[in-house]
Copies of this chain bind each other. A is one copy, B any other.
Amino acid sequence: MDDQTRANAVHRLKSIAGHVNGIVRMLEEDRYCIDVIKQIQATQMALSRVSETILDGHLRTCVTTAIQDDDPSERERVLNEIIEVFRHTS
């Protein structure tokens, strides 16, 4: 992953950690359950966007390099990892 992708992901994750702490405060203030659940769902979507950014960087660096190289077992490994990531989201 390149530096810009990493910096972008770090920035978003810090903001997500802040968001999660905000949800803790909502619970401590006894806010309405459905509003809390909606905030949790928003956090999950924000995490999906971070994964997407990291996967994008990964495809353009490690995966591209592995596929252009001559090592079939390495190629196999990176492609299997993509499928595994996909399996856990779908």
Task: Tell me whether A52 and B85 are in contact (CB under 8 A).
Answer: no
With A20-B20, A83-B59: A43-B47 Cβ-Cβ less than 8 Å: yes
In the complex, what residue of chain B is closest to A88 when comparing beta carbons?
B41
Distance, CA A26 to CA B1, complexed state (A): 13
Q: Could you say how many copies of this chain the assembly holds?
A: 4
Residues of B within 8 A of A81 (CB): 34
With A48-B90, A55-B86, A56-B83: A33-B62 Cβ-Cβ less than 8 Å: yes
Q: Give the interface centre of A16, A55, A56 by most chain B CB atoms within 10 Å.
A: A55
Task: Tell me whether A33 and B55 are in contact (CB under 8 A).
Answer: yes
- Which residues on A are within 8 Å of B, measured CB to CB? 1, 6, 9-10, 13-14, 16-17, 20-21, 23-24, 27-28, 30, 33-34, 36-38, 40-41, 43-44, 47-48, 50-52, 54-60, 62-64, 67-68, 75, 79, 81-90
